[in-house]
A = this chain, B = another copy of it.
Amino acid sequence: MADDETPPATYDDLRAVYVNATLTRSPGTSHTQRLIDRSRHIMDAQGVQTEVIRAVDHDIAPGVWPDMTEHGWPSDEWPALYERILAADILVLAGPIWLGDNSSEMKKVIERLYASSGDLNDQGQWIYYGRVGGCLITGNEDGIKHCAMDVLYSLQHLGYVIPPQADAGWIGEAGPGPSYGDERDDGTRIGLDNDFTNRNTTFMAWNLMHTAKMLRDAGGFPSGGNRADSWREFTNAVDQPPLA
């Protein structure tokens, strides 16, 4: 139990997808996967149906169209992955830091998510409305916030709700060094006992569940003033405020 109180709801009707944007294909070690596992473990314990997509294991074409086979690419696994992402209430984009920024796999995933951003849901809102998003970042040094800023910005722009403290990560001291979970000389694993990382990972997992539950209970994100077809009547109306 996360608290001395009972959680305010049950979460076993929720689904979460983690996308791991590591550059290393399976079965190579992904340090980011270690942090994903911690986060997922928290959701699993509450009955959330979770799954992980390791992007680099899939043949995802670059581009900004929903299906790149319609734009000259011989193959593209994205459309199938997209269905899995769309079936989830919670999307966590996770990845490593390279030269202080997100990986190319992370950017490719965001580009492909963006490709469908003009589609609409049943309420006439953008397609991703009604879902919540978060971010996990690991590196050997420097850049969690820079990477998370970009990822969370992209998610809210697409229509995801970003709950409080929706990112977590681990980095070491400035300079090259071990990555998350690597063995130290004394046999312990660096980062795994980092209180700050563990706290943020916990906060994030729970805040994603809380928010997803609120949206699920509300039947999606409330409709009004946020539909592609009907907003114009409002702000383009004649009674604009006088100009400052």
- Render A158-181 as a binary contact track against B, CB cut-off 8 A, 1 for contact: 111111111101111111100001
Partner of A230, one of B4, B6, B231: B4
Q: A79 near B: Cβ within 8 Å?
A: no
Option from B166, B196, B234 in Cβ contact (under 8 Å) with A202: B234
B196 pairs with A244, CB closer than 8 A:
no
Q: Which of A16-34 contact B (CB under 8 A)?
A: 23-25, 28-30, 33-34
Interface assignment of A87: CB less than 8 Å from any CB of chain B: no
Give the interface residue-count category, chain A. 35 or more
In the complex, A226 has a CB within 8 A of chain B: yes
Would you give the shortest CB distance from A171 to chain B, in whole angstroms? 5
Q: Is the CB of A149 within 8 A of B153?
A: yes
Determine whether A84 belongs to the interface, using a CB cutoff of 8 Å to chain B: no
Best-buried of A201, A211, A233, A244 by chain B (most CB within 10 Å): A244
Interface residues of A in 208-244 (CB under 8 A from B): 209-211, 213-214, 218, 221-227, 230-236, 240-244
Q: Take A23-B64, A110-B99 as given contacts and tell me if A189 and B223 are in contact as well, using a CB distance cutoff of 8 Å.
A: no
- Chain B proximity of A124: nearest CB distance (Å): 9
Contacts of A129 in B (CB 8 A): 164
**Measured CA separation A203–B226 after assembly (Å):** 5
Whether B2 contacts A174 by the Cβ 8 Å rule is no
- Chain B nearest CB: distance from A135 CB in Å? 10
Pairwise interchain contact A225-B203, C-beta atoms closer than 8 A:
yes
Q: Which residues does chain B contribute within 8 Å of A232, judged by CB atoms?
A: 195, 198-199
